[in-house]
Amino acid sequence: MKRIGILHHPKLSRSRPLAQEIAEWLAARGLAPWQVSSWDKTAVEAEIEELDLLITLGGDGTILRAARMGAHHGVPILGLNLGRLGFLAELQPENWQTQLTKMLEGGYWLEERMMLHAEFLQKGECRRAFEALNDVVVSRGSLARIVRLKAYVDGGYLSTYAADGLIISTATGSTAYALAVGGPILPPQLHNILVIPIAPHLSLNRAVVLAEGSTVSIEISTDHRAMLTIDGQFEVELQDKDKVRVKASPYRANFVRMQEPTYFYRTLMARLRPAGGE
């Protein structure tokens, strides 16, 4: 690794000074750091082909954003947690020097995680396409009224959901929005897709775990506005009879890990433990 991008969070006051400190530390060891806001997509995309690593300073949202930008180029990600949960992060503010030293000495491994490819179709034509690391959500808009979502798996009819929405999630996303609505927790190395309804009304109210390689198609039926949301970070307005198609992305998110491969379960239990619990 030689050329290292450092993405700071523009709304976290300690993120930019810490990015500068890390950049100076890397430069002193003969590396070539480059800094930019994680929200500056244009700047990142112009530089990313030349990078060997992306270090993110923020929460899981910053890592999700970096994953979507870096996946097309296979650039691995190393997250430093400045957020609340930090399910995806590897570093903490108090240990980054020790861990970066370990990485530079070769004491790391790469964890590959599946991503999703989502297409928004209108009158049979693909209008936009997206990559997601956590989830793709089709849901009601601002009005508190259910939408009807007809779901198909590999072209075969699954169910019609009358609900607030439907979450299509990766194993990575199983500890995010999917977990909040009662979905199962999947280990991150799995390549299965989860289909989970949000507040279903007199319709299927269980999560469905799909086989690797499945394609989910959703047809929207509503007399008001619906929304397509990617990783909880941006949205597209949907209308009656629009369709969303989701499958495994050809791209993968790669994370630099220094912990042992069983770290996921330890991290999970630490995050789920009630305050003051043992």
Q: Comparing C-alpha atoms, which of 22, 9, 106, 7 is closest to residue 54?
A: 7
Give the E-state strand segments of 45-164 in sequence order.
53-58, 77-81, 109-122, 125-132, 135-140, 147-153, 156-163
Ramachandran region of residue 231, left (φ > 0), alpha (ψ -120 to 50) or beta?
left
- Choosing from 60, 135, 231, 242, the catalytic residue is 60
1: number of Cβ within 10 Å = 15
Q: Comparing C-alpha atoms, which of 251, 226, 257 is closest to residue 239?
A: 226
Are 173 and 63 contacting, i.e. CB atoms less than 8 angstroms apart?
no
Ramachandran region of residue 223, left (φ > 0), alpha (ψ -120 to 50) or beta?
alpha
* 60 catalytically annotated: yes
Cα 36 from Cα 55, distance rounded (Å) = 11
Query: Among all residues, which ones are annotated catalytic?
Result: 60
